[in-house]
Amino acid sequence: MKIIVTGGAGFIGSAVARHIINDTQDQILVLDSLTYAGNPESLATIADNERYSFEQVDICNRQELDRVFADFKPDAVMHLAAESHVDRSIDGPAAFIETNIVGTYTLLEATRHYWSALDAQAKEEFRFHHISTDEVYGDLHGTDDLFTETTAYSPSSPYSASKAASDHLVRAWLRTYGLPTIVTNCSNNYGPYHFPEKLIPLIILNALDGKPLPVYGNGAQVRDWLYVEDHARALYTVVTKGIVGETYNIGGHNERKNIEVVQTICRLLDELVPEKPEGVSNYETLITYVADRPGHDMRYAIDASKIETELGWTPQETFESGIRKTVEWYLVNELWWSRVKDGSYAGERLGLTG
């Protein structure tokens, strides 16, 4: 297959790109506008592969999208390009509306234009796979409730509202125009190459620096944690085996309170980095509770039985194995995260794009 991966220099997108190049024979074209969270260095290990190519393209630019489709002639699109940080969406929602809604619309139209000119067999085999989030479902109130593929949408933040809107657009393009689309909604991802503003890498790196470990409210918010490489395998399974028009929820079966996640990281660092910053007896003493963010959902949890039963995917990592791998990765990849933290990665794009 020839697959376009939008947002492929981001956290999940780069994991998908690495999986496809390392574990399949498919050819990919990564599209990324290289905003602050797009880092070509997350693709450096595959950049020289002949089946990999990269273009710096904004999904809101229809002319560029038309050119890319005409040149590359994809068999599938995996759409991961999105603004995704809830706190940033609260401070500046406009970028989320532009990328997640207008960008998805523009990409759908470019895809439809390309797809409509294909021959009958190519049309039938083509897939547009839209990658979304469990945050579109809003808050779970019961302790045993789970998000299913038919859970009603009730987004709480500008981020989740913009993703909900994009989900609806994708389904409308199937219903109205026949574009063969599939939607997946995933739980919280973690793992290597995670941008340092997100909870798990932030806690790891702050602890190593002896800085406060900020926890919103009382830390009782519950999330289902999914190791990013498990998610990449799931997404490839969906784009190659999923049924057009279906939705698949992808979760890790790893519900944890935020405070439990932070405490687990602290204990791992106590074990793996016994030489602590000056004045730190153990890393948990750095935990600092801060004012909760507006509209903070208390609990997300995914019922992933559909993708497991129908497509045969299951996560390989437990939270315990995945979080250990994650902490160990950050400990041995200081060059990657230090360049993200100081911004130097953003100015040195050349030579990494294949």
What are the residues facing 53 on neighbouring strands?
A: 29
- Catalytic site residue from 135, 167, 229, 317: 135
pLDDT digits (tens, 9 = 90+) for 308-336: 999 999 999 999 999 999 999 999 999 99
pLDDT digits (tens, 9 = 90+) for 106-156: 999 999 999 999 999 999 999 999 999 999 999 887 778 999 999 999 999
Is 342 in the active site? no
Average predicted confidence (pLDDT) for the chain: 93
Is 91 in the active site? no
286 pLDDT above the threshold of 70: yes
Q: Which domains does the chain have, with CATH numbers?
A: 2-195+225-256+295-319 (3.40.50.720)
Residues in the chain, overall count: 354
| For the chain, percent of residues with pLDDT exceeding 70 | 97
Is 177 in the active site? no
Q: Which residues, other chains included, contact 94 with Cβ-Cβ below 8 Å and sequence gap of 6+?
A: none
Q: Which residues, other chains included, contact 312 with Cβ-Cβ below 8 Å and sequence gap of 6+?
A: 237, 241
Which of 264, 266, 178 is closest to 223 using CA atoms?
264
Task: Say what the pLDDT of residue 345 is.
Answer: 56
- Catalytic site residue from 64, 83, 134, 255: 134
| For the chain, percent of residues with pLDDT exceeding 90 | 84
- Catalytic site residue from 52, 137, 159, 193: 159
Q: Which of 214-218, 231-235, 300-304, 348-352 has the lowest mean pLDDT?
A: 348-352
347 pLDDT above the threshold of 50: no
Residue 342 confidence class, pLDDT cut points 50, 70, 90? confident
Task: Say what the pLDDT of residue 344 is.
Answer: 63
Q: Report the C-alpha gap between 328 and 175 in whole angstroms.
A: 46
222-227 and 255-257 strand pairing: antiparallel
43 pLDDT above the threshold of 60: yes
